[in-house]
Amino acid sequence: MAPMFVPGPVDVDVEVLNAQSRAMLPHRSEEFETIYRRASEKAKQLFQTEAPILIATCSGTGLQEAAIRNLAKQSVLSCVNGAFSQRWFEVARSNGKQAELLEVEWGQPITPQKIAKALQGKNFEMVTLVHNETSTGVLNPIEQIAALVHQVSPDTIICIDAVSSLGGIPIKMDAWGLDMVLTSSQKCLALPPGLALAAVSDRALNYAKEVPDRGWYFDLIRMETHRNKDSTPATPAMSLIFALDLQLDRILKEGLENRFSRHKAMAELVQSWVKAKGFQILAEEGYRSLTVTTVSNSLNLDIAALNAFLLAKDMRIAEGYGKLKNHSFRIAHMGETQLADIQELLSALDEFIAQK
């Protein structure tokens, strides 16, 4: 079967799917704790960190909420340039935080200059940023932003949503000085939905200890206490952790640099095709995602008809998301997708367009 080209949930290799079928274990058993510890340690290589990795049974949004509950008593700077960064702002507000909005037009990046202006004269406890905005295909310059924040507001905790980038685009938590980086299983990691992972710095964990009303399920201190015993506070999604353990082996066997190069090559092929056909890429040059391309539907393709055509070939692309729906479409190039798969998709798109 040809792969889907949607930005999650993505296709999962049969071997990884089958890993979920192994027999259950008591989740407080030494056998399961060994698997949990092994997966957690391997995941550090994806985050490029020595910080602890927390594995949670939830979506990435759950760990967005964990960040908000744990790392700010009140003041949050929410940087928004798409639907998922907007969601993080809404999570902050719904948890009673004094979240200030730094918003730019969808398709535009958050830049260090914009951050510097927002921080001027303010004392934010934390800043939230999406590394790779899945709705717009914009890749924000996190390394440069983090350097700026450390320079002008060194006490501000830097929290990064890497849901659609980790495992497909390099992100260097320790080298860039990031405090919390979160992701979820169903995108570049090419796992079924239901798991979220976060790397959390010692600085962030120490600050969390002073934050009241962190809740229970998403209390990072409770999660870290259990992680030190190779466990979780509540019963985890064990089958997904079995799959994670295997998939991390597969990812590391491919090699991170090889994996990043493959994602870059797929992105370049898609984006060259988009420009050659006369469409426009929503994201600016220099800030384009390597895992998902959002295309302005300037040729007025009937996306429903296009997907019906593709489904007959066992393929699928994604409609625009949020306020971009009906005005754009998205082609994902992440996870297990290979360059040959992209070439097959583009040939099918050519065939559909030729029928117009």
Q: What is the pLDDT of residues 9-42, one digit of tens each?
A: 999 999 999 999 999 999 999 999 999 999 999 9
pLDDT at 162 over 80: yes
What is the helix (H) or strand (E) element at residue 270, kind and residue range? helix 256-276
Give the pLDDT of residue 356: 72
According to CATH, what is the number of the domain 256-354? 3.90.1150.10
Question: What does the mean pLDDT of the chain come to?
Answer: 97
Give the span between the Cα atoms of 129 and 226, in whole angstroms: 27
pLDDT value for 3: 74
The domain segmentation of the chain, as residue ranges, is 14-252, 256-354
Q: Rounded distance, CA 173 to CA 175, Å?
A: 6
pLDDT given at position 302: 94
Q: Concatenated DSSP letters for 94-143?
A: HTT-EEEEEE--TTSPP-HHHHHHHHTT---SEEEEESEETTTTEE--HH
Provide long-range contacts, Cβ within 8 A and 24+ apart, for 26-34: 27/231, 27/232, 27/235, 27/236, 27/238, 28/231, 32/238, 33/229, 33/230, 33/231, 34/230
Cβ(69)–Cβ(128) below 8 Å: no
pLDDT of residue 254: 98
CATH number, span 14-252: 3.40.640.10
E strands present in 5-74: 53-57
Residue 1 has pLDDT above 60, yes or no: no
pLDDT of residue 2: 58
User: Could you check whether 14-252 and 256-354 share the same CATH topology?
Assistant: no
Instruction: Say whether pLDDT at 220 is over 60.
Output: yes
Summarize pLDDT for 304-335 with one digit per residue, the tens: 999 999 999 999 999 999 999 989 999 999 99
pLDDT value of residue 243: 98
pLDDT digits (tens, 9 = 90+) for 41-69: 999 999 999 999 999 999 999 999 999 99
Contact 188, 165 (CB under 8 A): yes
pTM of the entire predicted model: 0.97
* Residue 184 host element (H or E): strand 180-184
Distance CA 41, CA 14 (A): 24
Q: How do residues 170-202 score in pLDDT, each as one tens digit?
A: 999 999 999 999 999 999 999 999 999 999 999
